[in-house]
Structure 1
Amino acid sequence: MSRLKIDVSYLVDQLKALLAIDSPTGYTDTIVRHVTTELERLGLEPELTRRGAIRAVVRGGRREGARAIITHLDTLGAQVKYIKDNGRFELVPIGHWSARFAEGARATLYTEKGAYRGTILPLKASGHTFNDDVDTMPVGWNFVELRVDAMCWDRADAHNLGIDVGDFVAVDPQPEFLENGFIVSRHLDDKAGVAIALAALESLLSNEVTLPVDTHWLFTIAEEVGVGAASIVTPEIASMVTIDNGTTAPGQNSTEFGVTIAMADQAGPFDYHLTKKLVELCREEDIRYQKDVFRYYRSDSASAIEAGHDVRTALIAFGIDASHGYERIHVHALRSVAELATAYVASPMEIERDVEEVSDIEGFTEQPTNEAEMARRANNLPKQE
C-alpha cells in the first residue's frame, strides 16, 4: 500500500483544540466529551467506560486478532495538598514532573464553586525582599505554592471561596505554533499523540481503506499515574501500538523528525515481531525512522501488560525535547507517525495464530538464532529443510 496522505492542517487544528482543554489526570470529563464528539463527526460510534476511557472500532475483515492504536488524554497537573495560614496553597503533583518546571506557571484552580486563576511561585519569589535567597531556594514541591488571583489572605478566605484540599490545578500549556513547523507547549505528551490518532483515522476513513482486521482506537485517561490501558483492552485485541512521545536528549537516539520506534522502556522490551513489522513498514513506505531505548519511561503498553492482557505491544513516538517540562516537537514527526499508523492498520495480518487467545505450537513465531538464519530472513529466502 502506498502511504496515505495525512491532512496536516486537520492534525494541527485538532492539537490546538486539545491543548485548549484542561485535562490533568482525574479531571478529564471535558476532553473526553470533545474527543467523543470528534469521533462521532468522523462517522464512528465510540464507547465509553464508566470513568471515560474511549474505544472506537473501525471494522475490518475479521473480529479476532484485532489491532489497537492507543493514546492518552490526561496530562500532568497538581492538587491542593494543604491550605496555608496566608491563604496560599501547598501542592502535590499529578504525574511525575519536577517543580522546577512549575515555578512561574500560570494555572487554573478548579473548585466545587467554580474556577480561579493563579500562579505557582517559589516560597521566596521577591528579589526585593529576599535578595540572593531567591537564587538559593531548593527545587521541589515543598518549595512552591499556588497564589490565586482572588481575595484570599488566610484560611478562612480560602474556605469562603470554596477552595479545599484535593482541588485540581491545571497548568496553562502556553502553546506556540511556529511557521517553521516547530510547536512549543506543555502537555504535548500526549495531546500530540491524540491529534496524530485522529488524523490517521481521518485519512483512513476519507480514503475508505479496507482493513484486514478490526482496529480499536483507544483513548485512556490515567496514563500519567500509571493506570493507562489497564481496563480498556478487550480479549479480541492481539496487538497494540501506543503513540506517545520519544525523549530527545543527550544519550538518546530520538529526534524531533520522523518516527522514533521504541525497542524497550523501563518495563522491558517491546514485542519483537510487532516492532520488527513497524520497522519494515517504515522502510517499505519510505518513512524516516530511528530506534531508541528509554530508561525512565513507561506508557499505556506497560499498564496493559501489567494488568494481565496477553497482547503484543509496541511504541511509536514523536520526538519531544524537554519532556514533562517546556516541551517542543515538530510537525514532521507528527505526520510521520500518522503515516506509519495508517500503514500498520492497513497491512496484512502475518501471525495467523494470533486470532486465538491460546493455541498449540503450530504456526508459532520464530526468531533468528544464527547468522545463516538471519541472512535467510533478511533476503527473504526459503527455509532449508
Structure 2
Amino acid sequence: MTVYPNKKETKELIKEIVSIPSPSGYTKNVIQFVEWHLKELQVKTKHNNKGGLIATLPGERDSEHRMLTAHVDTLGAMVKEVKSNGRLRLDLIGGFKFNAIEGEYCNIHTTEGQVFTGTILMHQTSVHVYKDAGDAKRNQENMEIRIDSKVNNAKDVRGLGIEVGDFVSFDPRVQLTDNGFIKSRHLDDKASVGILLQLIKRLKDENKQLPYTTHFLISNNEEIGYGGNSNITPETVEYLAVDMGAMGDGQSTDEYTVSICVKDASGPYHYDLRQNLTELAKSNEIGYQLDIYPYYNSDASAAIHAGNDIMHGLVGPGIDSSHAYERTHEDSLENTEELLYHYVLSDMVNS
C-alpha cells in the first residue's frame, strides 16, 4: 500500500477540530472552521438549513452521484436547572452515560456569548462527608456542574448570565503520542471529518478527476439521529457514512485498520456496496476489518429511514472507548483515508 504522507497533518487537523466545542445544536463555529478549510482548497460549499455543510467535487459523469458524510457534532449537555446551591443540573445531548463524564472539565456557553468553566461532579463527591460517595447512582439527580466562579445560590449564577438552555461542552483533553496514538473526546466523529478534509486536499493536490460528481456532507445532528437524512441529490446512487468503528468484547474492529460495517442496530448495510469496499481494500493492500455494531446508527441509516433510494455503506477508523475518553492510532486514520481514496476513484457497484 502506498500511503499519502500526511499522517502528521491529519492528526494536527483532528486536534484542531476536536478543540472546537460543538455539541449537537451548537455547531456553528466548527462548521465555519471546516468551511474556511475547504475555501482554502478552492472547493465549492453550501449550507443546508439545518446548519450542515455540503462540499461538491464535479465528476466526469453528473448523471450519477456519490455522497460521503462525516458528522462534526458531538456529545454534550444543556443546563437543565440552576440549583439553589449555585450549581447546575444537566440534561444530556447524545447517547452516553453520566459516568463517562464524571470529573470532566467543561465549558458553559451562555446565550450572550460568554464562556464559563466548570467541573462535572457527583453532588456526593466528598468521601469525608457522604457515606454513599462511591455507591450513589451517576444520574441526572446526583450529577452537577461546579462553576469556577464565586456563586452560592441561583441568584448568583443568573447574575453571571447563565440560564436554563445554555450549552455545555466537554474538555476534549486531546493528546498526540510519540508512537502514533491520538486520544481525545469527540474522535467520534471528528477523526472522520479530518480524514475527509485530508482526502479532499489529496484529490486537489493530485488534480484527480473523479468518475462521478461527489458530495461531502459535514453533518451536524448525527448524535441526535437525523444529521445526514436530507440534502441528498436525486442523482445520488451510493451514500457512504464515514464514522467511528466500535470496539469491545466480541468486536473485530481495532485501532489500526479501517472498519467496514456490515450491520448495526438499523440492520444490514447494502451488500454489494460492502463487497465493493472489501475488494478495494484487498486489492490495494489496505488493512481492514468487517464488523457488526450492535448499538449504533449512522447518517447512512438515517438517510435510509428518511426514504432515500440509495445504496448505503459505513466505514471508519476504529475508536476505543466510544462516547467516553476515546483513542485511535494513525494507522487506522491512514487505512481509512486510503480506502476512501480508492473508493471515490472507482466505478460504482452497478456500472
TM range (shorter): over 0.9
Cα displacement (A) at 1:246: 0.9
Q: Determine the C-alpha separation between the residues in 2 that align with 1:49 and 1:272.
A: 30
Q: Separation in 2 of the partners of 1:6 and 1:142?
A: 49
Aligned to 1:52: 51
CA distance in 2, matches of 1:67, 1:14: 25
Q: Corresponding residue for 1:286?
A: 285
Task: Measure how far apart 1:350 and its partner are.
Answer: 4.2
Q: How does 1:38-187 map to 2 (within 5 A)?
A: 38-113=37-112, 114-130=114-130, 132-187=131-186
Match of 1:11 in 2: 10
Kindly indicate whether residue 195 of structure 2 is the aligned counterpart of residue 196 of structure 1. yes
CA contact (8 A) 2:273 2:349 kept: no
Q: What letter corresponds to residue 183 of structure 2 in structure 1?
A: V
Measured in 2, the distance between the counterparts of 1:196 and 1:95 equals 23
Deviations 1:154-184 (A, max 9, x none): 1111221111111100000001110111111
Distance in structure 1 (CA, Å) of the matches to 2:273 and 2:50: 30
Question: Do the aligned partners of residues 224 and 350 (structure 1) sit closer, same or farther apart at CA in structure 2, a change above 3 Å counting?
Answer: closer
Q: Does 1:277 align with 2:276?
A: yes
Contact kept? 2:173, 2:185, Cα under 8 Å = yes
Q: Distance in 2 between matches of 1:139 and 1:89?
A: 15
AA aligned opposite 1:279: T
Q: Deviations over 1:281-321 (max 9, x none)?
A: 00110001110011100110111111111111111121111
Conserved? CA contact 2:277–2:339, under 8 Å:
yes
Letter in 2 for 1:151: K
Q: Is the 8 A contact 2:35 2:53 kept in 1?
A: yes
* Rounded Cα–Cα distance in structure 1 between residues aligned with 2:313 and 2:49: 26
Deviations 1:195-239 (A, max 9, x none): 011111111111111211111111000000001112232212111
**1 CA distance for matches of 2:310 and 2:5?**
28
Matched with 1:228 is: 227
More strand by share: 2
Aligned equivalent of 1:22: 21
Shift of residue 57 of structure 1?
0.7
Distance 1:100 1:308 in 2: 36
Query: Secondary structure, in 3 states, of the residue corresponding to 1:142?
Result: coil
Distance 1:231 1:117 in 2: 35
Letter in 2 for 1:229: G
| Aligned structure 1 segments of 4 or more residues deviating by more than 3 angstroms | none
Assess if the C-alpha contact under 8 Å between 2:44 and 2:57 holds in 1.
Answer: no
The reply to whether residue 324 of structure 1 matches residue 323 of structure 2 is: yes
Following the alignment from structure 1 to structure 2, what is the Cα–Cα distance between the partners of residues 232 and 28? 18
SS in structure 2 at match of 1:184: strand
Q: Which runs of 5+ in 2 are unaligned?
A: none
User: Against the structure 1 CA distance between its residues 6 and 342, is the aligned structure 2 distance closer, same or farther, given a 3 Å change threshold?
Assistant: farther
Rounded Cα–Cα distance in structure 2 between residues aligned with 1:18 and 1:53: 15
Identity across matched positions, percent:
37
**Contact 1:74/1:221 (<8 A) preserved:** yes
Q: Determine if the alignment matches structure 1 residue 337 to structure 2 residue 323.
A: no
Structure number with larger C-alpha Rg: 1
> What secondary structure does 1:295 align onto?
coil
User: Deviation at 1:112?
Assistant: 2.0
TM-score (norm 1): 0.89
Deviation at 1:3, TM superposition (A): 5.6
Q: How many Å separate the matches in 2 of 1:302 and 1:350?
A: 19
Matches of 2:266 and 2:201, distance apart in 1: 32
Report Cα offsets for 1:54-90 as digits up to 9, x if no partner: 1111111111221111100100000011111111111
Instruction: State the superposition RMSD in angstroms.
Output: 1.2
CA distance in 2, matches of 1:212, 1:6: 24
**1:128 CA displacement:** 2.1
Aligned position for 1:297: 296
1:17–1:209 Cα change, 3 Å: same
> TM-score w.r.t. structure 2 length?
0.97
Q: Which structure 1 segments of 5+ residues have no match?
A: 353-385
The residue number in structure 2 matching 1:307 is: 306
Count residues with an aligned counterpart. Answer: 350
Deviation, structure 1 residue 151:
2.2
Give the Cα separation in 1 of the matches to 2:276 and 2:266: 21
